[in-house]
Amino acid sequence: MKKLACFFVYVFVCMGMHAEAQTARKVKPKLPAGSKAISPHLFGIFFEDINYAADGGLYAELIQNRSFEYTASDNREWHPLTAWRYTTEGFGYGTISVETNAPIHANNPHYAVLNVEDEGREGVGLTNTGFDGIAIKAGEQYDLSVFLKQLSDNAIPVTVYLKSRKGKLSNEAAFSTQSKDWKKYTATITATETNDSAMLVIVAKTKGKLALDMISLFPQKTFKNRPNGLRADLAQAIADLQPKFMRFPGGCLVHGDGLGNIYHWKHTIGPVEQRIGQRNIWNYHQSVGLGYFEYFQFCEDIGAKPLPVVAAGVSCQNSGGTWRIGGTGQKGFTQEEMKAYIQDILDLIEYANGSPATTWGAKRAAAGHPEPFHLEYIGIGNEDKITPVFRERFRMIYDVVHAKHPEITIIGTTGPFHSGEDYDLGWQFANEIKVDMVDEHYYEKPEWFINNLKRYDNYSRAASKVYVGEYAAHDAGRKNTLRSSLAEALYMTSLERNGDVVQFSSYAPLLGRRGHTQWNPNLIYFTGTQVCPTINYYVQKLFANNEGDLYYSNIITANVPDTAKTFAASCVKDSKTGDIILKIVNRDSVVVPAKINLGSLGSLNGKATVTTLSGDPMAENRCDAAQNILPKTSNITISKSFLYQAPAFSLSVIRIQNRSMGKK
């Protein structure tokens, strides 16, 4: 893993201009003395639907199992009526069943059939308990929709409302069936009380038979107020990171649990009732309401470059097992299947970037986005074993995509670990075919990060660039401690120092719903009502909110033995603002005086802001307790040369405004 490819991607309009264009692109701009250019997109995010990150998480849908598609293959205890209760209050009675003979769409085969034999005083129907209850706020409005089909001759009045165990929590929405074909009905419900464990009730109010499907409830206040949108507070916490890119939708999710479980982007676009949900490799269900259109739109909304990852034509090597114990082994698509699969990837690029006159660009436009999404990067594969099966299929994809879309940077993989056989074979393969960038992953104890601060110092500057796609320091008990956060901060200064090699990096996983995690630690924990950023989140935020595109060495020094490995610092410049940004990490138990010499950096303001994250090294920020460690910002006076007293167990970010650019 020691290599790097040219930073520039050569795109030639015609062969006659090839030599001239090549010569022009080799001309590098003159850099300020003592600096080197680094990636301006170093810190981003990686979203995978693990830990209920999508359904029950970022995706704002409040109804669980809205289309009755849960099965025992998703989770051994699940069935089509999971999260639903048959409701016969007020002495009504009838029957409920789940059928498949005449669905809304073949991609969404299951639906409920309600046969009301006596409506009683309050009707007969269904109650949904949401994800650990439905969280609502008094005065807020919620968009309800449901597909109904009248199966008896008479029209059937239907009522929908929110309730708790003590009574109703909203107004009632009422409508009558109007067709013996599937028809969508919509209404607005206003919550009259705040409640974190509400339930949605839908009841028929007369004798008769009807079919129900896609029973949905969304807060009107989604992120950017988008329909079929994202949970506003959770999306905002992600947006506040100011990520420069977003990798999605996985992860292990992409290459799936067997070939039949590989993630297909085409299954996730179009009307939600026509999308194809499937089993999640993390043992729950994906409704894919949060699909590729929504991922691209979210990237655009938060200013992050989209970085979709597709399987390399092979399934996860742990299929049928777990990452801990292994499984049945890696399987690959047949040669014939690969032709269609490669075309799907070409169609993805057209969906993202093609004009509305193209087949797949038209589908994007039909979804409400005629402008392209400006896709520049695509990942092929994720933590795959570097087997002959993998290499052959990766090469088939790479050759076609690279030939047809030289403007797209292709990111490969070096296997599941930071070293070992797959890592070595992955780099050997990347060098052989000259992949633009490779994706490295590592989850290790804090000590590993501290002992590897020079990991990229000796990587070749002439081979593939590096994307550190998944990493996290796992402290004792997999807790998000300040101690683990500072180990990551130490390491992130080395990523900045080697930002000419490392182009992207992203902590993983991003989200975890309390009580539903398959993996710990995570960057942001949440419940139905809370968003709980970890200390690690604030480390990521401080680095990402203070990125630069030039790196200066030897600006910050401290009298700390190199063997101690408790102190590290970096100095970058943001060329757009002219600001100089210093990041100083002290993982020692005592204050460390850091000497800062800015003499070579030009005219700077005498005032600066310093933001500090410090405290008890074993402290955590938890949903069930106070946020113990939060950044604190103050103003300081600086000079060309000054001492900064780095607090014990701390990350400090000093931002110095360029004097000339600071004037209005």
Kindly list the catalytic residues: 383
- How, if at all, do strands 111-118 and 208-219 pair? antiparallel
Question: 């039949």: which residue's tokens?
Answer: 260
- Angle 664-609-634 from CA coordinates, rounded to 5°: 125
Helix, strand, or coil here: 471? strand
**Contact indicator for 482, 616 with CB cutoff of 8 Å:** yes
CB neighbour burial string for 24-62, b if at least 16 within 10 angstroms, e if fewer: eeeeeeeeeeebeebbbbbbbbbbbbbbbbbbbbbbbbb
Helix, strand, or coil here: 386? coil
Which residues contact residue 104 at a Cβ distance below 8 angstroms, ignoring those fewer than 6 apart?
111, 147, 182, 213, 214, 273, 274
Using CA atoms, how far apart are residues 483 and 587, in angstroms rounded to an integer? Answer: 8
Using CA atoms, how far apart are residues 550 and 496, in angstroms rounded to an integer? Answer: 9
Tokens read off for 597: 């010499």
Tell me the residue length of the chain. Answer: 664
Using CA atoms, how far apart are residues 502 and 139, in angstroms rounded to an integer? Answer: 48
- How, if at all, do strands 45-46 and 245-248 pair? parallel
Helix, strand, or coil here: 547? coil
Residue from 546, 531, 563, 562 nearest 613 by CA:
546
Burial of 192 (0-12, 13-18, 19+ CB in 10 A): middle
